[in-house]
Amino acid sequence: MGRWSLKEMRITLSAQVAALCLVVVILAGCGGGAEPSTPAAAVPSSSVTPPRGLAPDPGAFSVLTKTLPDATTGRTYRYTLQAVGGKPPYLWAVSSGSLPPGFVLSSEGEVSGLLSGVVETDYPFTVRVVDAASPSSEILQLLNIRVRAGNLGRNDEPRSATPISDGVIRASISPHGDIDVYSFRGISGGRVTIEIRTNQDTHFDSFLELLDQDGVRLAHHDDIEPGGLSDSRIEEYVLPGTGTYYVRISDARGGGRPDFIYELHLTLTN
């Protein structure tokens, strides 16, 4: 084989480079002309926007008050209905039925009135409560007030307790040595919060007790605390079983008079 000239070697090398470039171009186009894929950038979980309609539920809107205390002639009646969830404040009204004569339901949910000359009977009615959300939600709740002629008598022991449910009732410890007992239904594992609010100017030293269905004391609280006064409160007590429970209210010193007025706030949660 003869020697190649420098010019011939350069031409051969250029041809080899061109052929190599052609091979690279052909290989790059084997994907059918598709653009090479690029891995998607990772998105931090905290920046992901949840789909519409899956926002956390702020709480189901419901009426807590299911039953109302009896009413009696000649005695002022005041009871505040309670709701939970939705967006407060709530607007209350009577949707159907009727309250006892002389009774009214305020837009804030307080049932009040004074009976006179009314025969013993039931007054079923339906309340409508609307929350402040936009758009608003509404609930209808059937309630009943039983009217008893004459005096209800003393509710100073479990067998004569006044039945209540979630809500606010106003009463007084009077006369001297008076005790008030209320009953409510609870379920096993449910929680109850009971609070007594008083006018401290009267020096009413409220003593609050929670009893089981046999009258055994489960919890208690005295409103006199070190360093000052506070209203009696039993908070988030876990009920041990399903059945009837009692709330007993008295003056810790055994006193009682007409101005020993209190509000009993009862809240039940499952």
Q: Do 130 and 65 belong together in one domain?
A: yes
- Measured distance CA(230)–CA(197) in Å, rounded: 9
Full residue range of the structural domain in which residue 187 is found: 154-270
Decide which of 153, 174, 208 is a domain's last residue: 153
CATH number for the domain including 206? 2.60.120.380
Tell me the C-alpha to C-alpha distance, in Å, between residue 58 and each of 21, 54, 85, 88, 213. Answer: 66, 12, 7, 12, 35
Contact 159, 237 (CB under 8 A): no
pLDDT per residue over 67-97, tens digit each? Answer: 888 888 777 888 899 999 999 999 999 999 9
Q: Does 31 fall in a domain?
A: no
Q: How far apart are CA 231 and CA 204, in angstroms?
A: 10
Per-residue pLDDT 10s for the chain (270 aa) are 445 444 444 445 455 545 544 444 444 444 444 443 333 333 333 333 333 433 434 468 999 898 888 888 777 888 899 999 999 999 999 999 999 988 999 999 999 998 876 678 899 999 999 999 999 999 999 999 988 776 556 688 888 888 888 888 888 898 888 999 999 999 999 999 999 988 767 778 899 999 999 999 999 998 766 555 568 999 999 999 999 999 999 998 888 888 898 999 999 887
Is 172 contained in some domain?
yes
Q: Are residues 129 and 74 in the same domain?
A: yes
Domain of residue 120, CATH code: 2.60.40.60
Show Cβ contacts of residue 191 under 8 Å, excluding neighbours closer than 6 positions: 236, 237, 238, 239, 268, 269, 270
- Specify whether 132 is located in the same domain as 237: no
By C-alpha distance, which of 257, 158, 173, 169 is closest to 207? 173
Count of domains for the chain: 2
Mark whether 165 and 258 lie in a shared domain: yes
Which of 95, 123, 153 terminates a domain? The answer is: 153
